[in-house]
Structure 1
Amino acid sequence: MLKSKDNFKSLKKRYDNQRAEPPVMRPPSTSSSITPSKIDFIDDKEPSIKNSIFSFSNKSFISSIFNSSKRDLSNFDSNVKPKSRLQYAFNTFISQKTTEPAPKDSFRSSMAFDNSTSSSQFKVVILGGSVAAICAARYIEERCQKLVSITIIEPLKKVFLKTGASSSLTDNTSLNCLFVSPENIFKLSQNSIIRDKAVLIQEGHVGLSMGPPIPFDYLVIATGSSYPPPISYPSLDYQHTANMLTRYFQTLNNAKSVLIIGGGATGVEVCLRLINNFYQKNIAIIHDKDLLLNHDYSESYRKKIQQKLIDSKVKLILNDTAKISSFINYGHPPKGRWIETTSGKMLFFDIQINCSGPTGNSDFLKKSHLDYDNVVEKQSKFIKVNRYLQILDSENIFAVGDVNNISGVKNVERAKSQARCISKNIGLLLQKKLHPETFPVAKLSVWVPDSINAEITLHKNENIPSNQSKLQLINSFKSEHYINNEVSFRKAETIKKIYKLYNAELGTYGAL
């Protein structure tokens, strides 16, 4: 009985303490650099934060509700629903947090190192799971941290690395290394990946094939490009792509004659692999110019490669094309076919490998608020961008990687440099929104072109009037930014770098 009385006294004392007036709040520290928009009230990942809603300290949310119920009951409207009262108390609580504004220092110190969850995070949506998309997501997360929530929209569970596709034609043991999952790229919990496909873009949101629309403040298009099989395959099931590559490998082993359609970088790479692994086969390559490759490679290198193929007994069919333009997936499934050329020749080969070039994955822009004909190239379907990598006439939409129309060799290093550029620019645009009085104009970062052709493309996109000829532009181009490109069929190091970007483990690989 005595014990029950003690319990009752203890409970009564605790109840009286809860109803008591809280101590006077201390004035905020003048050294505080957190603005009211960045206060973190609930964060399950950081239990050490004192401002928990379950704490009955003078700074807590529930304490503010109790205080309001005791002292400021007259301020409540009796007709207001309980949920609205809670919202009123919440707003009162925020208004009591009168802290000093953030110091006007560098953007990185005021945003990148702020670990509090913003009550109104800016939404960044990234379309695609390509290397450029993953780089953009990681750089934006690192720079802006909890000020933004990042959503990647990618329909594939595992992304196919097209850069190593040609290696699987001659060595099937490397096949498993060409599929990588992007699920482990994020460090912060507010960022996520949605397995769905973008079908349209309207102002402020992305329409999906299956799910509800996804709103955005900033949009990054990194949907990449599509090649004919076997370099890529239009399937959402990665196992179908693996089966397709296996079938090409088996057919190629049994074939006596091989035709490579297209003498660009992909066609030359495939040809070099075939020479090394199937030197006894009759190999031919058809190309619409008198010299293999294009102007992204020096003329001396192009002549050198062409001579190497001639010395290896490869038959070159130059200044001619195969009549296959109406067949998007021409050559699949792999089998013997007759080929007609524009010059009237009829050719038969046991297998044809279509390397006729990529097209940009930009069809979803047809159903958008943008002027499709103005922002997308008609034949290639690549997206036009300015030197800040923004889509033309759109400040908050960017296009990076293979999907934009900037000429040049589109490799991992270019994808990383473009992703780094747009992460800076999104940060600068956020800075402008957060501190308009200090940064009325966002001085965006310019992507530095890595080739002369890239510079020329940007001039065309921006309609910059120039009296310079191409030769003058070459002479004025900064030589330290020019890359002497060569066709490489050693992809092991590239695949290792990509796996590192995806935070994935690379298993045993063959002759990549």
Structure 2
Amino acid sequence: MAPTVAVLGGGYGGISVAKALDDIADVVLVEPRETFVHNVAALRAAVDPDWTERIFIPYDGLLSRGRVLRDRAVRVHPTAVDLGSGRRFTADYLVLATGSTSPYPSKLDVEEAAGAAAKLRSTQAALARADRVLLLGAGPIGIEFAGEIKAVWPDKTVTVVDPAADLVSGRFPDAFRAELRAQLDELGVELLLGTSLRELPETGPGQTGGFTVTTRSGVEIDADIWFPCYGGTVDSDYLGPELRPARRPDGRLAVTAELRLPGQETVFAVGDVTAVPEMKQARAAQQHAEVVAANVRTLIEGGGTLATYRAAADSIVLPVGPKGGVGYHPEAGLLGAVPTAELKGGLFLDRYLELLGAVAAR
């Protein structure tokens, strides 16, 4: 009989591991959402009705021999998984790929696809009614969302506030941030950096309703709608006592160079849930998945040396609307608006449609 590999989480890392091991193991992918959600395109889906349904991709075509369980892991042991439904199953190998959460709309907070799509349509309508938009956070989420809003409604006032002194944390050259500033300035996006709000608006995030707030530097901002565009948290409370020593204070999991939990031979982790010191991105999760899938395959086949992972250098492809953006990689250098849009203008949707079996492989 083939060994069982339990993959917890059906995001970018989880689907990649599951797909890669489907031919050699009985893969069980545990995921509470009804469909895969292409979060890379979530901000565009919040403004563009053409993208509302496109970011939800069924899991049906992902696995040939494995299965997807729509459930949630509530307690995880090295060789067993307890589910929210009350069921338990055993596994020979375990891959933790439970990802992270961040405020809507950068990640959707509704598990049913129909409900999540309805919330996106509600956000589109709320933004259409608003003349003045306030975004809290000048990292990748805030900048990308500002660009998406301006692409659809170029006459709206968009203000971005962040306590950081500059745009986008990370080890990037000055030219990267200068290019971002130039593109945002051309769009008319107002940046208020090095300050924060004294108090949050009285209206809830994403709700239309005029308000005035004041920054700690004394600037008054009038707006009609606001969104939090910062922060990412992980939930690893599901770890059983045997695995809990890997848990850091922020919930992320320490891993070895082979991406195993320390002291565990058959328990791996990938993606945002890991404490690997690098930017948390879908690309990194998939690179983790390649290493973990190779290592599980080696162990199943009785091989010797396992693959190791080295934390990726800071790099990014950051859209500023469908036709703009800035990219940087230490080897490729700086990418301006045109090459960035060519690289990420489609938000890599075709890549994940193919991986999930929703379109024929090329």
**Which TM-score applies when normalising by structure 2?**
0.84
Q: What are the residue-to-residue correspondences of 1:166-245 with 2, within 5 Å?
A: 166-188=43-65, 191-245=66-120
Alpha carbons of structure 1 residues 216 and 491: separation in structure 2 relative to 1, 3 Å: farther
Structure showing the higher strand proportion among its residues: 2
Aligned-pair Cα RMSD in Å: 2.9
The CA deviation at 1:265 is 0.8
- CA distance in 2 between counterparts of 1:269 and 1:505 reads 27
> For the Cα contact (< 8 Å) 1:256–1:281, is it kept in 2?
yes
CA deviation map 1:361-400 (0-9, x unaligned): 43323x543235x52342xx33332321222333322111
Q: 1:449 aligns with which of 307, 311, 329?
A: 311
Q: Which residue of 2 aligns with 1:157?
A: 34
Q: Which residue of 2 aligns with 1:41?
A: none
- CA distance in 2 between counterparts of 1:199 and 1:246 reads 32
Q: Aligned AA for 2:232?
A: P
Unmatched 5+ stretches in structure 2: 316-328
The CA deviation at 1:451 is 0.7
- CA distance in 2 between counterparts of 1:483 and 1:420 reads 25
CA deviation map 1:286-342 (0-9, x unaligned): 1121110111533320122123323433221111234679x9x96144544444545
> For the Cα contact (< 8 Å) 2:243–2:261, is it kept in 1?
no
The CA deviation at 1:129 is 1.1
- CA distance in 2 between counterparts of 1:237 and 1:156 reads 6
CA deviation map 1:224-268 (0-9, x unaligned): 221211222322212221111111111111111011111111111
- CA distance in 1 between counterparts of 2:248 and 2:311 reads 20
The CA deviation at 1:222 is 1.3
Q: 1:370 aligns with which of 232, 236, 243?
A: 243
Alpha carbons of structure 1 residues 484 and 402: separation in structure 2 relative to 1, 3 Å: farther
Alpha carbons of structure 1 residues 451 and 445: separation in structure 2 relative to 1, 3 Å: same
Q: Which residue of 2 aligns with 1:127?
A: 8
Alpha carbons of structure 1 residues 503 and 249: separation in structure 2 relative to 1, 3 Å: same
> For the Cα contact (< 8 Å) 1:375–1:383, is it kept in 2?
yes
- CA distance in 2 between counterparts of 1:388 and 1:289 reads 34
> For the Cα contact (< 8 Å) 1:196–1:211, is it kept in 2?
no
- CA distance in 2 between counterparts of 1:411 and 1:344 reads 35
Structure showing the higher helix proportion among its residues: 1
Q: 1:288 aligns with which of 163, 182, 185?
A: 163
The CA deviation at 1:209 is 0.5
Question: Which secondary structure does the structure 2 equivalent of 1:170 belong to?
Answer: coil
The CA deviation at 1:161 is 1.4
Larger Rg: 1
The CA deviation at 1:202 is 2.4
Share of identical aligned residues, percent?
A: 22
- Structure 1 moving runs of 4+ over 3 Å: 322-325, 332-348, 407-413, 482-491
> For the Cα contact (< 8 Å) 2:73–2:238, is it kept in 1?
yes
Q: Which residue of 2 aligns with 1:94?
A: none
> For the Cα contact (< 8 Å) 1:133–1:222, is it kept in 2?
yes
**Which TM-score applies when normalising by structure 1?**
0.61
- CA distance in 1 between counterparts of 2:280 and 2:50 reads 26
- CA distance in 2 between counterparts of 1:479 and 1:303 reads 17
* Number of equivalences: 342
Q: Which residue of 1 aligns with 2:320?
A: none
Q: Which residue of 2 aligns with 1:40?
A: none
- CA distance in 1 between counterparts of 2:26 and 2:333 reads 36
